[in-house]
Amino acid sequence: MQRKYCLCVDIGATRLRVAIARSDGTILDVVEDRTPDIVLRSEEPTAIAEAILQLGERLLSGRGMSFAELEGIGIGSIGPLDLRRGVIVKSPNLPKPDQEYPLRDYLQDKTRLPVYLANDCVAAVWGEVTYGHGRDHSNVLYITMSTGIGGGAVVNDTLLLGADGNAHEIGHVIVDTSEDALTCGCGGIGHWEAYCSGMGIPKLIQRELNKKKNIENTKLPDIVKSCKDPRDITVHFFNLLREGDPFCREIFEKICIFNARGIASAIHLYNPELVIFGGSIALNNYDLIMEFRKYLGQYLMRGFRIPEFRLTKFGDNVVLVGAAALVFNTPESLRKFVA
Ligand SMILES: [Zn+2]
């Protein structure tokens, strides 16, 4: 008999979030810690797994429960991953980029529970088809627009994983081949993520500021000077855009074009009937982000199906919901890696 609860985990570059979820996908309690701090506090590569155990124990004891009462542990994680070994391999987004982080086998040994690991966006799309807008759909693409841009895809009811679990790095499709194309965090040139993500938008703003001789009627240069974290520039940018700042509008039209190019490429790859957006940029600015649609026709093959577009209904918890779906509705494609 299936048990009622699982532990679900969202490993992000900034935050590690751990929650208890019910088998219907409801997230009950969430605790979190900062991922870079966890990694830097310990010499051990098992630091993240240990933090999951400790946060999980805290949650369970709060409900008078133990690990033995859970159905399993689901994890949606930043990559790259090696699903065969159940580890995060050298991640450029963590403080020790040469270190590997064992997760699955270590947690299985410690808790005696089955542990299901997938990329965070891959987990998210599985959460959508299990519990969210993707129910009753066989071809669904999930796109996160946050610090970075990533994707997860279900094609003909199958969760696509790739050789190692790293399919759908859609943020790294090429959207700009001009001479002053921007360099992505991954080192590549002209990648979508370098223009339209939380870290990318500030780079695009800087390029446009450099090009401009006379900058008037905009507060953007002051914002750029005063922000230490580039992601704050992105937040202010959207606020100024809503206030009607003309220079922000000029830049935003470019963002819409780059989004149209990136999204058209992803649609060509997976032929989805439904595209679901998540991540902080989409969650906070869905109306604005949807403006990419006015340019989509220029980049989509004639006659190609234009999918339905929706915003995730799970908000900030979409990866946690996805991790719960890995446990309660384990995808066949993932089982092959677990066996
Ligand atoms: Zn890239």
Q: What is the 216 CA–ligand 1 centroid distance (Å)?
A: 32
Distance 179 CA to ligand 1 centre (A): 17
Separation in Å, CA 328 to CA 23, 28, 189, 214, 303: 6, 15, 40, 58, 38
Rounded to two decimals, the pTM is: 0.95
Q: What is the mean pLDDT of each run of 10 residues along the chain (339 residues)?
A: 93 95 97 95 95 98 96 96 94 85 97 97 98 98 95 98 93 96 94 96 94 84 90 94 95 98 98 98 98 97 96 98 98 87
Distance (Å) from CA 246 to ligand 1 centroid: 29
DSSP 8-state class, residue 305: P
User: How many angstroms is it from 64 CA to the middle of ligand 1?
Assistant: 45
Strands lying side by side in the sheet with 149-155: 158-159, 149-155, 140-145, 274-278, 308-311
108 alpha carbon – ligand 1 mean position (Å): 33
The residue behind tokens 């339905």 is 308
Beta bridge partners of residue 30, listed in sequence order: 19
Residue 313: what pLDDT?
Answer: 96
Looking at residue 186, what is its pLDDT? Answer: 87
Which CATH architecture group holds 5-127+317-338? 2-Layer Sandwich (3.30)
DSSP-assigned states of every residue in 167-188: ---GGGSB---STTPPBPTTS-
Q: Where are the alpha helices (DSSP H) in the chain?
A: 35-41, 47-62, 104-111, 120-131, 193-196, 200-211, 220-226, 230-243, 246-270, 280-284, 286-289, 293-299, 318-328, 332-338
Give the CA distances from residue 19 to residues 10, 29, 122, 287, in Å, rounded to whole numbers and listed in that order. Answer: 9, 5, 18, 30
**From the CA atom positions of the chain, what is the Rg in Å?**
20
Tokens matching residue 67: 């690990």
* Structure confidence at residue 26 (pLDDT): 98
The CA 58 to ligand 1 mean position distance, Å, reads 37
Q: What pLDDT is recorded for position 316?
A: 96
Class of domain 133-312: alpha beta
Phi–psi pair at 201, nearest 5 degrees: -55, -45
Do residues 120 and 77 touch, judged by C-beta distance below 8 A? yes
Please identify every residue whose CB atom is under 5 Å from ligand 1, which is an ion.
172, 184, 186, 188, 191
Find tokens 């810690």 and name the residue: 33
Q: How many other CB atoms are there within 10 angstroms of residue 47's CB atom? A: 19
| pLDDT tens for each residue of 113-143 | 999 999 999 999 999 999 999 999 999 999 9
Domain borders along the chain are: 5-127+317-338, 133-312
Q: How far is CA 64 from the centre of its chain?
A: 32
| DSSP-assigned beta bridge partners for residue 142 | 152, 276
Report the distance separating Cα 93 and Cα 90, nearest Å.
9
Residue 244 Cα, ligand 1 centroid: separation in angstroms?
31
Q: Would you state the pLDDT for residue 339?
A: 59
For residue 289, the CA-to-ligand 1 centroid distance in Å is 20
Q: How far is the CA of 72 from the centre of ligand 1 (A)?
A: 34
Question: Which residue in 186, 185, 129, 176 sits closest to 152, CA to CA?
Answer: 129
Instruction: Indicate if 133-312 has the same CATH topology as 5-127+317-338.
Output: yes
- The phi, psi pair for 292, rounded to 5°, reads -60, -25
Per-residue pLDDT at 175: 98
DSSP 3-state of 204: helix
Cα 41 to Cα 2, 45, 101, 121, distances in angstroms: 37, 11, 14, 27
CA of 266 to the centre of ligand 1 (A): 15
